[in-house]
Amino acid sequence: MDKPQQPKPLNDLSRSLTPLDVNHTLICVIEMGTESWLVGGIIPGVERQPLKKLKPNENELLKLFDRWRQEAEKAGHKINRITVAFEAGRDGFWLARWLRARGIEAHVIHAASVAVSREHRRAKTDRLDIRRLRRAFLGWLRGETEHCKMAAIPALEEEDAKRPHREHETLIGEQTTIINRMKGDLGAARHPQLQRQAQEGARAPGAGAHARGRADSAQHTGRAAP
C-alpha cells in the first residue's frame, strides 16, 4: 500500500498565495541606504509610478503610504491592502516587523534571488534598482515563481540570539583586513627593486671601508658590530 504523500507547504516564500487585486492594492518597494530611502510605488488608478526619496524614518514612510492611498481613493480605488518589499541586510528585519505591527504587509527579498540579465553589464543606480525590485515584487505577488524569493522574518528574540555570532564574524573580517594590509606592506619592503637598491648601496665606493671601520671600532670597544 502506497504511503500518502505529504502535503506541500502552504507558502515556500518563492511566490505569494494571496490573490492579487491590483485595483485595490497599494504596492511599494524600498531601496534602503544608510543616508536615505528611495521608495517606489504602484498606485491603483494612477498612471505614473511615483518615486520618493526619504530620510531613513519609518514614520515618514507611513505618511507617504497614506498620501499614496489617498491618491488612489481620489482616482476611485479604495485601498484594502498595502504591501511593501525591500532588500535588506542582516539588520533590516526590524522594519518589516515594525510595519507588520501596524497592519502593513511587509516582505524582505533575498537579494540573490532577483533575476538579473547577464547579457550586458548592469548599471548600478538606485532608480534602476527600484525598477528591478518593482518588477520582481509584482511578479511574486501574482504568484509567479521565477521572479524572487522572500526571506523568513525572524522574531526579535531569534535575531538577538544570532547577534554575538555576527559580531564575531565582523571582528574576524576586520582582523583579516589588518593582516592582509601588513602583509602587503612587508611584501613591498621585499620588492626586488628595493633589494637591488640595497645591493647597489652595499657595492658603492667606501661602503666596504665604512663597514670595516665599524667592525674595528666594535673590536676596540668590546661590543659587537651593528
Domain ranges of the chain: 25-153, 165-221
Tell me: the pLDDT tens digits for 115-147? 665 544 455 577 788 999 999 999 999 999 888
Tell me: the pLDDT tens digits for 3-57? 555 544 445 688 999 999 999 999 999 999 889 999 999 999 999 999 999 999 9
Does residue 221 carry a pLDDT above 50? no
- Sequence letter at residue 223: R
- Sequence letter at residue 12: D
pTM: 0.64
| 83-99 mean pLDDT | 86
- Whether the Cβ atoms of residue 111 and residue 6 lie closer than 8 Å to each other: no
Residues 191-200 as b or e (16 or more Cβ within 10 Å = b): eeeeeeeeee
CATH topology of domain 25-153: Nucleotidyltransferase; domain 5 (3.30.420)
Return mean pLDDT, the chain: 78
Beta-ladder partners of 26: 82
β strands within 80-218, DSSP E: 81-87, 105-109, 150-151
| 68-88 mean pLDDT | 95
pLDDT at 215: 47
- Whether the Cβ atoms of residue 171 and residue 57 lie closer than 8 Å to each other: no
pLDDT confidence tier of residue 73, bands split at 50, 70 and 90: very high
